[in-house]
Amino acid sequence: MQLRRGLVNTLSIALIVLASRASAQDAEAPQPTPSRLAEFLLQVDALEEPAAALAAESGWWVAEAQGRTVRALYADGKWSESWGASFAEGLVEPRGLAASTGHDAPLFVADAGAHCIMQADGGRIGRRGAAPGEFNTPRGICIAGDEGREKLYVADSRNDRVQVLDLQGKPQVMIGSRGTGDGQFLAPLDVAVDARGNVYVADSDNHRVQKFDAAGKFLKSWGDFGPYPGQFAYPSSLELSGERVFVVDRENHRIQVFDLDGKWLDEIAVHSLLPREGQGKLHYPDAIAISADGKSMLVCEGFENRVQVFGPEAPRDPNEPPPMPPERNVAAHYGPEVGAAGNLIVALEPGASQIALFRAELPEPIQITAAGIHGTRSGELLRPHDAAIDLAKKLVHVSDPANARLSTFAIVGDFEGELKYDPYLLAFARSLDFAKLHELGKDLGARWVIEPEAIALDASGRLFVCDPRNLEVWIVDAKFALVGKLDTGGIAFQSLDGVAVGADGRVYVADRLAGLVWTFASDGKGLGALGRNELFAPSGVAVDLEGRIWVTDRRTASLLCFAPDGKLVERVGASGMGRDQYFKPRGLAVDGRGELVVLDWGNHRGVVRGVAGDSAGKILGWFGSRLFTRELRGTKR
């Protein structure tokens, strides 16, 4: 159904004077001098992954990616309108917001899951594709220009470009391509435009901000990977206010402030260390919106399902040095997936571009080595996502979507003898570069460069590789050659979040946006799906020694077990930090004892859970930050 006319009118009134992006419309308008927005004012919890916000006259609009809606939040923290089901087609995964001053339905929403821009009147711009005017996972958007000549700017993230269109969707300018050079992008996540028409882009996997002129010509860039002032770890959003650029430095847990030429000015907020800690402390911020007068800033923290609002702080002593960032800790920031085989467990640390190998001693697995260095050369990692252990060949395979690469590390030392940390236990062995295969036309006709994320190993040494950019699951043989893909038939994946292979060769693929786990025979033919009406956001999947399929559901903080015939036989878990409690659980693996290893992503820990015999239902072990495992250990520290 169409959006209610009353709501359209309400939006028109509220957003006509919208501030957060509107300053770009008048190059002569005086810019407000921004205050230091570091004074905590308000926190609103229990959202469903807030991913974007937009300032309005009396508050903000907030897009909830997992909740599939956009809601109005008043300045006092109370909710008003909810906008999502009112779309003609419904929202799938809203992750960007922008507003027009001269459009009858002024609110525009970037729907990353539907690969389009949705409008308040039910209109739709674009579809999934690589041609001009098409998108692949659009993220941040903004609208700038004089009334009647406004343009829509889109961070077209998985096309590694920024598109400029008119408000009817006609392409005007294309900026960038995939790469690491000037004017190239790796996962651009947001875009903003200043009063002179210059374009600023959060180039996330390149850990920098790039600036272009109105015609799309590269002007300059700033930033590099790191925790210090002026460095970034996956910048995810940016906002212009008072001739300053506010950059959301997501994995450094802060907001950095620069002038329009990239000179570092300030950083805002303190990294929260305690579980669910907020009240002015940040944990993986995703996006910000700043009011027209520059006196309030809303921060979206999708990881914590909350937003926080900050206001002006009393001036700081100019002689006082800026606070230094805390030490990075691999145990406190695990990536989304986990691998296991025999008595080994491997976890990922994207923020440090490393993998961590543990020996599965119980109750606390012990880290015995780490490998990885940040970079784009062979053997280096940018954003490790998943790992699979081939114990027979003593290999650890690692997916790195930012580098579009699979990397393999050999276990070159003794991991079964004396328990000790050995920094030389893993050595780089080889890699499969999908960008190079695409350049050579040897990637089996893939439309885009293959982006490897979740991976799984079968008994013959084949790897099944989830590729959310192409929405395909590829097959890499034991010789590390790309040889095929799953035959999806009539299946249209919406997302690819996890993959597992059973002893019988069946392949299971978790599709979070569809709320299903797809099943394929050993020959790659589709067999159907499990979890219909039982799964909400399936993320990880694993098959135990009895052939049962285990699935993490990060929306309901639960583990679900399905019989081989697809019947639900068990559901456990709840939101929390105690035994059989989780927060946004994701990766799953089965170790050599047949026990389940759960990557409790939102709680920064791994949990070993018994699934058979006398150990069934028992929490057998854990690893991670002591702050997040203390309830499992039964201690206060």
- Which tens digit of pLDDT belongs to each residue from 360-400? 988 999 999 999 999 999 999 999 999 999 999 999 999 99
* pLDDT for residue 5: 32
How would you classify residue 611: left for phi > 0, otherwise alpha for psi between -120 and 50, otherwise beta? alpha
Fold match between domain 5-311 and domain 330-633 = yes
User: Which residue ranges in the chain fall short of pLDDT 70?
Assistant: 1-34, 81-89, 103-105, 316, 322-332, 636-637
β-pairing, 270-271 vs 281-282, is parallel
* pLDDT for residue 89: 59
* pLDDT for residue 318: 72
Backbone φ and ψ of 5, nearest 5°: -60, -40
The pTM is what? 0.93
Nearest partner of 387 among 279, 272, 465, 496, judged by Cα = 465
Residue 219 exposed, middle or buried by CB count within 10 Å (0-12, 13-18, 19+): middle
Q: Hey, what long-range contacts does 483-488 have (CB within 8 A, 24 or more apart)?
A: 484/444, 484/524, 485/444, 485/524, 486/520, 486/524, 486/526, 487/520, 487/524, 487/525, 487/526, 488/526
Report domain extents, the chain. Answer: 5-311, 330-633
CA dihedral 6, 9, 11, 17 (to 10 degrees): -160
Which two tokens mark 328?
A: 């990075």
Measure CA 458 to chain center: 27
**Average pLDDT of the chain, as a whole number:** 91
Measure CA 141 to chain center: 17
* pLDDT for residue 620: 95
Instruction: Let me know how long the chain is.
Output: 637
Pick the CATH number of 330-633 from 2.120.10.30, 3.40.718.10, 1.20.1630.10, 3.40.50.300: 2.120.10.30
* pLDDT for residue 84: 53
Pick the CATH number of 5-311 from 3.10.20.30, 3.90.1570.10, 3.40.50.12780, 2.120.10.30: 2.120.10.30
